[in-house]
Amino acid sequence: MSNYIPHQPHPWVRRLYALCLYVLLPIVPLYLLWRGRKQPEYRQHWAERFACYRQSRIAPQKRRIWLHAVSLGETRATAPLVHAFFAQNTDAHIVLTHTTPTGRASGQELFASYLQDGRMTQVYAPYDLNPLLNRFFKTFAPTDVWIMETEVWPNLMAQCVQRNIPASLINGRMSEKTLKQTLKWKALMGGAYAGFTHVCAQSETDAQRYQAIGVVDAQLTVTGNLKFDMHVPTEQVAEGERIKRLLTDTRVVMLASSREGEEQLWLEAIEEFERTHAQIEKPQPRTQWWIVPRHPQRFDEVMTLLKNTGKNVVRKSELDMQPITQQINALAQADMVLGDTMGEMFTYYAIADVVLMGGTWLPYGGQNFLEPMALGKPVWVGTSIYNFEKIGADALGSGVLWQVQSSFIALENAQQSQLHVAHIPVRIRTFIHQQCGAVEKLGILLFNE
C-alpha cells in the first residue's frame, strides 16, 4: 500500500483545458469519419466514445478494474498482467478500454475467453470530459484504474481523486521528447500525475523524468517492462515454422510492423542492394523479402507499392486459403510476401531469418523489437527507438540488437554469416529471459489493494 495521498493542484488550469475540449468536441465526428476512410472500424461504436451504453453493466464482483490500453502495443503488453491478476483474483472484473480499433481487435483476440465468460468487458474509452467520465464511472463503477504506459488525461485523474479511486500508471515510460512537452504544460500535466497512487516506471531513466514533472518518491516504483514478460504463443510459432519448412533454400528478410513511409525506403534499399550485388554470383540460399505493415488499413496501399516494383508478390491471406502444394509453388515463385493478416506476429517472426523493425527508420520511436528477440531472431533497428530507449540501449550494449543509419546498411550487414551461428539466438533469448519480472513486481503493488 502506498502512503501517498493523491491530490489535484491547479484546478483552474484544468478548467481551461476542459473549455478547450468542449470547443473541439463538434469536430470529433468529422475526425472519426476522416479516419474511417482508410479504417472503417473508426465508424463503429461511436456511442461508447461518448459513454453511452444500451444497458447498465456494473459488474457484481468485489474488484472492478478499469484497464486502459490505448492501442495494439499497449494491449498486447497487458496480457501477462491480466492472466496473473485473474489467477490470484477469482472475484474480479476488468473493463478493458482502448482508443484505436487495432487495440480493440487485439483485445478481442487476446482475451476472448475472459470476454466470453464475463470476467471482462471491452469498450472504447470515453473522451476526457467530465459528463462522459461521470457516465462511465456510473456504468462500470471501477474500484481501481490502471492506465498503460503514457495515456494520462487530466480530467480522468481528477475524477479518480474526487471519487477516492486508486489510479496506477503501469509500465510507464517517458521519452526525452515527451518530458520536454510535458514540462511546457507542467501545471496541467503535473497536476494529472499528482492524481496517481502508483507510478510504475519501466526504468530508472523513466523514473527520473517522472520526478522532473513532480512525481514524488511515495508514488514511484521501478517495476521493469511488461513486454519482457510476454507470452509466446506456441501455436503461432508452430505455424510459422511449418511455413518456413516450405521455403526450400530460402532466407527470409522481414520488415516488421512498418509505418507509413518506411515501406518506400525499404523498397529503395532492396533495389540498391540487388543492384550492388548484381555482378556477384547469386548467393545460396536465395533471399525472399517479407513485409508486415503495422496497420491493417494500409495493407492494400502497401500491396500497390510492392506490385509497382515489378516483382512477383503474394499475400499471406491468399496463401492461407490454398492447399499445401499450391502454397509451396506460390512461395517458390514469390520474390516478396505481404503479411496482411492480423494477430499473427509470432507466426511471422518464426518465419523470418532476419528482422528489420518498423517504426525505427523514420521518427516514430520504434515498434516492439522484443517479440522477435524472444524467438532468438537477429533484429536490426534504425535510429528512432525512443519508445524503447532504455531497453534498446541495454540490448545494443549487450550485443543482442543491431542499429544502423539506413535499411540499406541493415541489408548489407544482415548478410554477415556470424549473425546466424548457433550461439547468437541463445544469447538473444537469454537477454530477454534475464529482464523478466515486471508482472511479479506489479502484482505486489496492485493485486491485493
- Residues serving a catalytic function are 74
Phi, psi of 298 (to 5 degrees): -105, 5
Is 358 in a helix, a strand, or coil?
coil
Judge contact between 441 and 223, C-beta under 8 A: yes
Give Cβ neighbours of residue 428 (< 8 Å, ≥ 6 apart): 373, 376, 377, 378, 400
End-to-end Cα spacing for the chain:
7
DSSP per-residue string spanning 175-244: -HHHHHHHHHTHHHHHHHHTT-SEEEESSHHHHHHHHHTT--TTTEEE---GGGG----HHHHHHHHHHH
Instruction: Using alpha carbons, select from 107, 77, 101 the residue that is nearest to residue 371.
Output: 77
Q: State the Cα–Cα distance between residues 283 and 440, nearest whole angstrom.
A: 47
Q: State the Cα–Cα distance between residues 220 and 213, nearest whole angstrom.
A: 12
Judge contact between 69 and 96, C-beta under 8 A: yes
Number of helices (H) and strands (E), helices first, in the chain? Answer: 22, 14
Judge contact between 365 and 359, C-beta under 8 A: yes
Q: State the Cα–Cα distance between residues 79 and 406, nearest whole angstrom.
A: 33
Judge contact between 426 and 376, C-beta under 8 A: yes
Give Cβ neighbours of residue 411 (< 8 Å, ≥ 6 apart): 253, 269, 270, 273, 356
Whether the link from the prior residue into 131 is cis, omega within 30° of 0, is no
Is 144 in a helix, a strand, or coil?
strand
CA 255 to chain centre: 16
Positive or negative CA dihedral for 399, 289, 247, 278?
negative
Judge contact between 270 and 295, C-beta under 8 A: no
Q: State the Cα–Cα distance between residues 383 and 386, nearest whole angstrom.
A: 9
Is 158 in a helix, a strand, or coil?
helix
Q: State the Cα–Cα distance between residues 62 and 72, nearest whole angstrom.
A: 29
